[in-house]
C-alpha cells in the first residue's frame, strides 16, 4: 500500500519514485491553473507533493479496511457503535488529513476505522480528539436523553475539546440508537455480551453508572 501509493504521488508530481515502477502505466504529472498578471490562466505542472489536491491522491488505503475492521472489533472509533448498515459502511479516516499531511496518507498509524457518516463529518477539521488519546471516563452518557457529555472533574481545556468533538461529529444525532440499545438490554432482548459487541460505549456507561441487570454487575 505504501510503496504504490508514494510511487503514484511521485509520478503525479514529476518526481523520481523511491520504488520505480516495474509494470503498468505511470500516472501523468498533474497540473494546476495559475492566473497571470493579465488575468489569463495557464496550466502549470505540479512539482511538489504538498501541492497535489487531496482528491487526486489514489485511495490505496481502502486495502486496509479489512485489517482495521479486525483490529477494532468492527467498532467505529468515533461513534463507538459496531459498523453495520445503520451507521454506514466502514471507511478509513486519516487522523492527519490528506490535504495537510500528504506524507502520512499511506501510514497505518494515521488510520482510524470510522463509519462513513462519521468520517464525512470529521472531514479535514482539526477539532476532533484522536481516539487514541481519549482516556477512559472522558465522555459520559446521560441516561434520560442519552446525550454524550464531557465528564465532570476534567480541566476546562479538555472539556472544551470533548465538546468540540461531540459537536463536530454530531454525536447526539445518535441518541435514539443509544437509547434503543440500552432499552433492549434492560428488557432482556439482548445479553450484556451482545450489547458490548454492538454498542460498547453504552455498555460501559451502564456498568459505570450501576445500571446493569442482576447477574451482570
Contacting residues for 201 by C-beta, under 8 A, at least 6 apart: 80, 81, 139, 141, 178
The whole-number pLDDT of residue 217 equals 74
85 has a pLDDT exceeding 70:
no
**Residue of 132, 134, 144 whose CA lies nearest to 209:** 144
Q: Could you tell me if 79 and 169 are in contact, meaning their C-beta atoms sit under 8 angstroms apart?
A: yes
**pLDDT tens readout for residues 129-164:** 999 999 999 999 999 999 999 999 999 999 999 999
What does pTM read for this prediction? 0.89
Q: Could you tell me if 87 and 114 are in contact, meaning their C-beta atoms sit under 8 angstroms apart?
A: no
The whole-number pLDDT of residue 39 equals 81
Q: How far apart are CA 47 and CA 13, in angstroms?
A: 4
Q: Could you tell me if 129 and 162 are in contact, meaning their C-beta atoms sit under 8 angstroms apart?
A: yes
The whole-number pLDDT of residue 87 equals 56
* Cα dihedral: 95, 98, 101, 102 (round 10): 140
Confidence of residue 37 (pLDDT cuts 50, 70, 90): confident
The whole-number pLDDT of residue 35 equals 84
Give the start-to-end residue ranges of the domains of the chain: 1-54
Residue ranges with strand state E in 40-109: 41-45, 90-94
The whole-number pLDDT of residue 38 equals 83
Residue 52: all three cell numbers together: 497535489
The three-class DSSP label of residue 82 is strand
Mean pLDDT, the chain, rounded, equals 94
For the chain, give the number of residues: 217
**Residue of 174, 172, 161 whose CA lies nearest to 128:** 161
Amino acid at each position: 500500500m505504501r510503496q504504490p501509493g508514494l510511487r503514484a504521488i511521485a509520478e503525479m508530481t514529476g518526481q523520481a519514485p523511491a520504488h520505480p515502477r516495474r509494470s503498468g502505466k505511470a500516472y501523468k504529472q498533474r497540473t494546476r491553473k495559475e492566473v497571470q498578471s493579465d488575468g489569463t490562466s495557464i496550466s502549470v505542472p505540479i512539482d511538489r507533493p504538498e501541492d497535489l489536491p487531496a482528491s487526486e491522491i489514489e485511495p490505496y488505503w481502502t486495502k486496509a479496511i479489512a485489517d482495521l475492521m479486525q483490529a477494532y472489533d468492527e467498532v467505529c472509533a468515533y461513534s463507538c457503535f459496531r459498523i453495520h448498515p445503520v451507521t454506514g459502511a466502514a471507511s478509513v479516516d486519516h487522523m492527519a488529513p490528506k490535504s495537510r499531511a500528504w506524507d502520512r496518507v499511506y501510514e497505518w498509524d494515521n488510520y482510524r476505522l470510522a463509519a462513513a457518516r462519521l468520517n464525512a463529518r470529521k472531514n479535514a477539521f482539526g477539532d476532533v480528539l484522536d481516539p487514541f488519546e481519549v482516556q477512559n471516563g472522558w465522555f459520559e452518557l446521560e441516561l434520560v436523553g442519552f446525550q454524550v457529555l464531557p465528564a465532570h472533574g476534567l480541566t476546562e481545556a479538555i472539556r472544551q475539546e470533548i465538546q468540540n468533538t461531540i459537536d463536530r461529529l454530531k454525536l447526539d444525532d445518535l441518541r435514539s440508537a443509544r437509547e434503543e440499545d440500552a432499552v433492549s438490554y434492560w428488557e432482556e432482548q439482548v445479553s450484556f455480551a451482545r450489547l458490548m459487541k454492538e454498542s460498547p460505549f453504552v455498555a460501559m456507561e451502564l456498568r459505570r453508572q450501576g445500571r446493569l441487570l442482576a447477574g451482570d454487575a
